Amino acid sequence: MEHSIAVDIAFLLLAVLAVVAGWRVFRTDSMVRASFFLLVSFIAVGAIMILLAAEYLGVAMFFMMAVEMMVMALFMVMFMMNPAGLNPMMMVHQHRLSIVAGGVAFVILAAMALFSSFPADPLPAGLDPVHSLGEEMLGDSMLIFESAGIVLLATMIGVVVLSSHRGRYGAAEEGSMPPGLEPGGDPAGQPEDDESGGGHAHHHHH
Amino acid sequence: MIESLASLLMVTVVLVLGPYVVAVLDRLVATPTGAMAGDVWLGPLSRAAWLLTQQANATEAPDWQAWRLSPALYLALAAVGLAVVPWSPTLIATDLVTSVVLWGSVEALATVVIFLQGWSANAVLPLIGAYRYVALGLSYILISMFVLIGVALPAESLQWTQVVTAQESLWNVIRQPLGLPLFLVVGLGLTFWGPLNLADSTDLAGGTSAEVSGPSRLAWELARAVMLVAFSAIAATAFLGGWLGPWLPGPVWVLLKTLAVLALLLWLGHRLPRVAPERCVTLMWVVLLPLSFVDLIWAGVLALWA
């Protein structure tokens, strides 16, 4: 298929952006930054999909990933032990396993890219990508897509319901207190008790 | 070639002049209420010049890159929105077949950018403003999505030019009476303007931009104003028939309709009461979101019937 040099340049720039942003996800020290680097990476991939004439899927990537990464960042801040907003934290763990898994995945994908022969099918002349995608998803496969969607939604709600009673410092129904600074010490970060010291439980309710 | 250059020129002109028009219109609309003092025509310029000469504030250990980028990114999103507005059947910067969805993405990405503006300052009040916008922004996006699907249904297309063409017999503002009022609420929310200014509100001492001063503050306010103009142009395209109209050429009609929506939004911004954020979320989810379902069903039934 004939395409201009501008498409090639755009593809290369977007590919580099996607890879660099993806790499930064693991090198940054904050959940929020990691989420938004991932968002940048996905936006670059979405733009590449538009270059590949997948006009709906590419644009869908923009808004889906925008909302998804925003919600993900929010949930991580809500549920993680150390959300690390602007406080630095180590974002990676199980280093050796991750390095091996990453290396193997890279070799397999690179081998596939280099050694498989991709078909050179030009786009059919009257292709309407939005219409054909709609036919594909909402024609014969509508039942599958709709049921998968409802199952996913139910799973998400279920997970939040099951996990949300467990706060950062214990279960919600037990009343949560931060641990002490020393083992067995008083809860950290609490306001000074007033002089009454009678242990009125309602003083601790905030 | 000439047309694409001309459309790019239009986008640039709106980017440059839009904020001034917003500021002047806002002052004209506010004058009867006595809410704004100062010269209507020179006031915005002197405020901009004053902001430019102010020192840029710094907080303790902010995320500098995100903090400096977020106004620029918000402006870029507004520019993307302007780029999909058709000024005439052919005078359009990007006639993507999924341009309605691209506008939806602009609204979604705006949430991220507004959050970043508040989060990266590393200060309490901006952070509260940022979380507040995320909580509210999700409901704006949902309402907007259903309204936009309703607009796309009679056109049987996700392309703004087709949406306008489908309004040749009847404008969507009459065909889907719930659509424009709901979409206007989305517009005030997206630019956190007037009663829906809960992200940058005075109860948070300026919210996401509480710690922003000087040129960055100017950039942020310019970006908000341009986003309001872009939104008005999209609303004029979606509901008021875009370039359609007698006697005058298409682009003039788009301009007039955009200005009309803009003036209406600014007027609403001064006349509607402010809602508390918690009650605003309830209002969005319990009242406006079901109304947007009704709007969508209305549009669907009409499309089947026609």
Assigned domain for A199 exists: no
Q: Please judge whether A59 and B119 are an interchain contact, meaning their C-beta atoms are less than 8 angstroms apart.
A: no
Assigned domain for A12 exists: yes
Q: Please judge whether B108 and A128 are an interchain contact, meaning their C-beta atoms are less than 8 angstroms apart.
A: no
Q: Which residue of A has its CA nearest to B158?
A: A130
The answer to whether A178 touches A169, Cβ cutoff 8 Å, is: yes
Q: How far apart are CA A36 and CA A33, in angstroms?
A: 5
- Work out the average pLDDT over A112-128: 84
Q: How far apart are CA B219 and CA B74, in angstroms?
A: 9
Assigned domain for A84 exists: yes
Q: Please judge whether A128 and B119 are an interchain contact, meaning their C-beta atoms are less than 8 angstroms apart.
A: no
A152: containing domain: 129-170
Chain A residues touching B161 at Cβ < 8 A: none
Q: How far apart are CA A166 and CA A79, in angstroms?
A: 9
Please check whether residues A105 and A138 belong to one and the same domain.
Answer: no
Full 3-state SS string of B111-174:
HHHHHHHHHCCCCHHHHHHHHHHHHHHHHHHHHHHHHHHHHHHHHCCCCHHHHHHCCCCCCHHH
pLDDT score of B117? 92
Instruction: Write the CATH number for A107.
Output: 1.20.120.1200
Please check whether residues A76 and A151 belong to one and the same domain.
Answer: no
Q: Is A49 on the interface with B (CB under 8 A)?
A: no
Please check whether residues A20 and A108 belong to one and the same domain.
Answer: yes
Residue A38 in this model has a pLDDT that exceeds 50: yes
Q: Please judge whether B119 and A63 are an interchain contact, meaning their C-beta atoms are less than 8 angstroms apart.
A: no
CA atoms within 13 A on the CB side of A24: 17
Q: How far apart are CA B264 and CA B236, in angstroms?
A: 12
Please check whether residues A68 and A18 belong to one and the same domain.
Answer: yes
Residues of B near A (CB-CB distance < 8 A)? Answer: 61-63, 66, 96-98, 101-102, 104-105, 107-109, 111-112, 115-116, 119-120, 122, 127, 131, 134, 138, 141, 157-158
Percent of chain A, pLDDT > 70?
81
Please check whether residues A108 and A133 belong to one and the same domain.
Answer: no
**Min distance A119 CA to chain B CA atoms (Å):** 26
**Min distance A86 CA to chain B CA atoms (Å):** 7
The answer to whether B143 touches B108, Cβ cutoff 8 Å, is: no
Assigned domain for A122 exists: no
The answer to whether B234 touches B80, Cβ cutoff 8 Å, is: no
Chain B residues touching A85 at Cβ < 8 A: 119, 127
Of A36, A56, A85, the CB nearest to B112: A36
Residue B266 in this model has a pLDDT that exceeds 70: yes
Assigned domain for A201 exists: no
pLDDT score of B62? 87
Say how many domains are in chain A.
2
Please check whether residues A108 and A6 belong to one and the same domain.
Answer: yes
Assigned domain for A2 exists: yes
pLDDT score of B33? 67
The DSSP string of A95-157 is HHHHHHHHHHHHHHHHHHHHHS----PPPPTT--HHHHHHHHHHTTTHHHHHHHHHHHHHHHH
Please check whether residues A17 and A78 belong to one and the same domain.
Answer: yes
- Work out the average pLDDT over A5-34: 91
Please check whether residues A83 and A39 belong to one and the same domain.
Answer: yes
Assigned domain for A200 exists: no
Chain B residues touching A60 at Cβ < 8 A: 101
Assigned domain for A156 exists: yes
Q: Please judge whether B115 and A70 are an interchain contact, meaning their C-beta atoms are less than 8 angstroms apart.
A: yes
Q: Is A70 on the interface with B (CB under 8 A)?
A: yes
Name residues 50-69 of chain A within 8 A of B (Cβ): 50, 55-56, 59-60, 62-63, 66-67, 69
pLDDT score of A199? 45
Average pLDDT, chain A: 81
Average pLDDT, chain B: 89
- Any idea how long chain B is? 306
Please check whether residues A18 and A51 belong to one and the same domain.
Answer: yes
Please check whether residues A37 and A111 belong to one and the same domain.
Answer: yes
Please check whether residues A80 and A158 belong to one and the same domain.
Answer: no
pLDDT digits (tens, 9 = 90+) for B25-35: 888 888 776 66
Q: Are strands A166-167 and A170-171 parallel, antiparallel or unpaired?
A: antiparallel
Q: What angle do CA B242, B245, B248 make, to 5 degrees?
A: 110
Does residue B141 or residue A191 have the better pLDDT? B141
Please check whether residues A38 and A140 belong to one and the same domain.
Answer: no
The answer to whether B154 touches B172, Cβ cutoff 8 Å, is: yes
Q: How far is CA A94 from the centre of its chain?
A: 19
The answer to whether A99 touches B142, Cβ cutoff 8 Å, is: no
Chain A residues touching B131 at Cβ < 8 A: 74
